[in-house]
Structure 1
Amino acid sequence: MQLPPLGLYVHIPWCVRKCPYCDFNSHAAGDHLPEEAYVEALLRDFASESSHLRDRPISSLFIGGGTPSLFSPAALGRLLQGLQQQSRFSDDIEITLEANPGTTEHGRFSAYREIGINRLSIGVQSFDDLKLQLLGRIHSAHQAQQAFAEARAAGFERINLDLMFGLPGQSPAEALADLKQAIALNPDHLSWYQLTIEPNTEFYSRPPQLPAEEPLWAMQQQGQALLAEAGLQQYETSAYARPDQPSRHNLNYWRFGDFIGIGAGAHGKFSSPEGVITRNWKTRMPSQYLARDKDFNAGQRVLEAGELPLEFMMNALRLNDGVELNLFSERTGLPLDLIHRPLQQAIEKGLIHAGERLQPTAQGRLFLNNLLELFLP
């Protein structure tokens, strides 16, 4: 089996405070961030994953969280330097940093650019100050606009804005106003997705009043039209980009590529030349992750052959253009005959286009869960 491209995800789990809607592995930072100790742990964690490199270069690197922009450029610079000493970065590697307005003081963006970070994802969520307060965000709309301007001035040519709709008490007009302010900044990429209430969050225990189904549908339809008119084409369920500006790191996920995950709670996926595909995950609590006598790996499991069609489709069919038909065999090591029957059913139901691509129709994207159910083991 030909090995797929390899990405690297780095998780930094601290935030200024936990947002009430967030179900990610994030923790309030407190008065002290253990930057030096955590960078050292990340590099040891990466060294423990060296067998998964298999002579492949790292094609994309994503530093997420939490709020990675709480870490200083010096600390992140030491991290990137240490990772390069242990591996090979591709010549055109895309290195993305998640940043939140309000956690990057003036001048940091330039320093991040100097250490090799070449893409930013700025967590705006809304340009409405009242909505930001309801979401527990620590920044204002003005700070979000200022952060974007400073990132551009620092030389970042690839900037993603993270924006949500369906916020508590939000009307379609307010959702569109958010989008218009985002578009006015002329971002290269926009992650625009609906707020959902997830277990183990403050909103789950004390649910806010969210918009009903009809206004949500209006937000989605009108918002997608507005984004398309602005030249931000939808290429994935909740991702919109200008030509040649999709997130390379996320594309690797959706195309069922491999990725190493380091950091507290990070996940990874690896393929072997023999066709064995394994997922692993790291210990979640930062204090345990930093303990020198603990194993970073909290668990792993080999994916059974019967699971792979659904695992593959859950990623590939999120893409509007889908993927090449032969990518299924390339990335899973399984014959196409294995999915012939569910694929024909999907085509007959009008959920997938017939042809040389695994590409969902407009109806297939709308009823993605129904489409995926056809590939259940």
Structure 2
Amino acid sequence: MNALPAQPSLESLLRMPPYQAYSYSYPHKTAYRALPGPRALRDVWAAEDRSALFLYLHIPFCSYRCGFCNLFTLARPSAEAVERYLGQLDTQLAVAIDALGEHRFARLALGGGTPSYLDTAQLSRLFDSLRRRDVDARAMPSGMEVSPETVDGDKMALCRDAGIDRISMGIQSFSDAEVRTLVRPQQRDEVERAIAAIRAQRFPTLNLDLIYGIQGQTVASFLASIDSALAFAPEELYLYPLYVRPLTGLGRIESRDGRPRFALQPEPLDARAEMYRAGRDRLLAAGYTQVSMRMFRAAHAPANDAGPAYCCQDDGMIGIGCGARSYTRALHYSSEYGVSRRSVAAILDHHLSLTAEDFARVDHGFALDGDEQRRRYAIQSLLVWPGLDLAAWRARFGTEALDDLPQLAALEPLGLASRTDALLALTASGMARADTLGPWLISPDVAARMAAYAPR
């Protein structure tokens, strides 16, 4: 058996541009493979703590596919496919809840895709499915993703009445020219209309997403978008660096004729780091607290600990729908992953043919041994503030974090983290390098799987 490739040193990574990869979940679904054999869903969850679970429903439909998007979603599906999908969602939800046995959901999220792509009747059908399974969105923090062109007053009133308390909307930029560069047809007046419809329903939390690194964007124009967003006093703001990934719209344009038309220039000409610092400073000056490299929370946002206790490092997730990820401590699973329209359509078509018996089995995912569980815990903790709780690590694993992952000791001498007896926390410089540190912490096995993944 060939040895796995050695991971690059932190020093060598720090000589590269800071934007290597976004480690929003570990391991990434490109590391998933067919399991050695199907496993019964009931058995997968039998030994797990099911007292505080995250329930996630995936709606893989959009009005259009943005040029940067590599999520599992299909633009402009047929009306028949949407209706069949909602039926499958109901079936899968029933099967999953039956397999869990005694359990409690502590968080609920509707993501995609674009959940608000559904019309009012379809959204009502979705919430009815939840209520029939005794899932009450009003009893826990419940969020939903929307896009400006799919928002209207009736939908937002329905969602608020159903218990949704957090709306997240991707705007990306308030500049129409910059949005067009992202292959996104929205206009600023459409965004402002959507925000007004959301605010009219008094959702406790409105999150707005912005992107930096767009071709033609400047620090000044990025700050102008931030200022436009601040005018609406969102409870949360996310600042995302642009990544141009294979099989996305921008990725295909970049590779056409071999000319990097949308490729971001390498340092020192890449302005993303400068935009990040300027955006961060503007939000801190406006009274926002930085939670991660991307997330900023306003002083007037609801308390983050509202609702039943949930910890993403310790508690499990049940993902319902094609493309949804589920995880226990030792197994992450989902349907296959695709980006191109052809692959997403094929995977979705297969999903629509599944039976209740099929949903009761798991056959595609990634099994996490002790080392992988520790790496996941470190990535999920360290890349957000307040940081990696060393006592919580000790309670979870019965070991010391720096003994288990000696590479963490390299952070302090480089000024990327500070350590006390209780906490290992990134410094501001370390947080600016989050998209370097995440890839640095992945295992050689996961890195090899991701490198070997063949995009569909």
TM-score, structure 1 as length reference: 0.87
Q: Distance in 2 between matches of 1:288 and 1:334?
A: 43
Q: C-alpha offsets along residues 320-343 of structure 1, whole Å, 9 cap, x if unaligned? A: 211422332455x45226426344
Aligned to 2:418: 353
The one of 273, 291, 310 equivalent to 2:375 is 310
Q: How many residues align?
A: 370
> Bigger shift: 296-305 or 232-241?
296-305
Cα distance 1:335–1:89, how it changes in 2: closer, same or farther (>3 A)? farther
Q: Does the 8 Å contact 2:183/2:249 carry over to 1?
A: no
Q: Distance in 1 between matches of 2:370 and 2:153?
A: 51
Shift of 1:74: 3.2
The one of 336, 339, 342 equivalent to 2:404 is 339
The one of 199, 217, 225 equivalent to 2:273 is 217
Q: Does the 8 Å contact 1:96/1:120 carry over to 2?
A: yes
The one of 328, 333, 338 equivalent to 1:280 is 333
SS in 2 for 1:20: coil
The one of 355, 358, 367 equivalent to 1:295 is 358
Shift of 1:373: 3.3
The one of 121, 129, 140 equivalent to 2:168 is 121
Q: Distance in 2 between matches of 1:287 and 1:237?
A: 37
Q: Does the 8 Å contact 1:57/1:89 carry over to 2?
A: no
Q: Distance in 2 between matches of 1:54 and 1:185?
A: 43
Shift of 1:267: 0.7
Q: Distance in 1 between matches of 2:350 and 2:163?
A: 30
Aligned to 2:440: 373
Q: Distance in 2 between matches of 1:164 and 1:170?
A: 10
Cα distance 1:185–1:344, how it changes in 2: closer, same or farther (>3 A)? same
Q: Does the 8 Å contact 1:127/1:141 carry over to 2?
A: yes
> Bigger shift: 161-170 or 198-207?
198-207
Please give the residue correspondences for 1:141-180 in structure 2 after superposition, counting only pairs within 5 Å. 141-180=188-227
The one of 113, 120, 129 equivalent to 1:82 is 129
Identify unmatched segments of 5+ residues in structure 2: 1-46, 255-260, 338-346, 445-456
Moved over 4 A (4+): 51-54, 87-92, 210-214, 244-249, 251-254, 374-377
Aligned to 2:291: 235
Q: C-alpha offsets along residues 293-343 of structure 1, whole Å, 9 cap, x if unaligned? A: 483445133201121222111211110211422332455x45226426344
Q: Distance in 1 between matches of 2:311 and 2:251?
A: 28
Shift of 1:83: 2.6
The one of 262, 265, 270 equivalent to 2:323 is 265
Q: Does the 8 Å contact 2:56/2:324 carry over to 1?
A: yes
Q: Distance in 2 between matches of 1:54 and 1:358?
A: 37
Shift of 1:49: 2.5
Q: Distance in 1 between matches of 2:332 and 2:379?
A: 15
Q: Does the 8 Å contact 1:58/1:87 carry over to 2?
A: no
| Counterpart AA for 2:284 | A
Matched, 1:65 2:112: yes
Q: Distance in 2 between matches of 1:313 and 1:136?
A: 36
Q: Percent identity?
A: 26
Q: Does the 8 Å contact 1:353/1:360 carry over to 2?
A: yes
Q: Aligned-residue CA RMSD in angstroms?
A: 2.9
Q: Does the 8 Å contact 1:342/1:375 carry over to 2?
A: no
Q: Distance in 2 between matches of 1:126 and 1:90?
A: 31
> Bigger shift: 333-342 or 359-368?
333-342
Cα distance 1:165–1:82, how it changes in 2: closer, same or farther (>3 A)? same
Q: Does the 8 Å contact 1:6/1:257 carry over to 2?
A: yes
Shift of 1:218: 2.1
The one of 327, 335, 354 equivalent to 2:392 is 327
Shift of 1:348: 4.3
Matched, 1:32 2:97: no
Shift of 1:85: 3.5
Q: Distance in 1 between matches of 2:415 and 2:161?
A: 49
| Counterpart AA for 1:132 | V
Cα distance 1:63–1:141, how it changes in 2: closer, same or farther (>3 A)? same
Q: Which has the higher contact order (CA 8 A, sep 6+)?
A: 2
Q: C-alpha offsets along residues 127-173 of structure 1, whole Å, 9 cap, x if unaligned? A: 11112222222321111011111111122121111111111111111
Matched, 1:204 2:251: yes
Q: Does the 8 Å contact 2:137/2:164 carry over to 1?
A: no
SS in 2 for 1:127: coil
Identify unmatched segments of 5+ residues in structure 1: 272-276
Cα distance 1:105–1:89, how it changes in 2: closer, same or farther (>3 A)? closer
SS in 1 for 2:107: strand
Aligned to 1:274: none
Shift of 1:10: 1.0
Aligned to 1:226: 282
Q: Distance in 1 between matches of 2:410 and 2:210?
A: 36
| Counterpart AA for 2:318 | I
Q: Distance in 2 between matches of 1:53 and 1:2?
A: 9
Cα distance 1:278–1:97, how it changes in 2: closer, same or farther (>3 A)? same
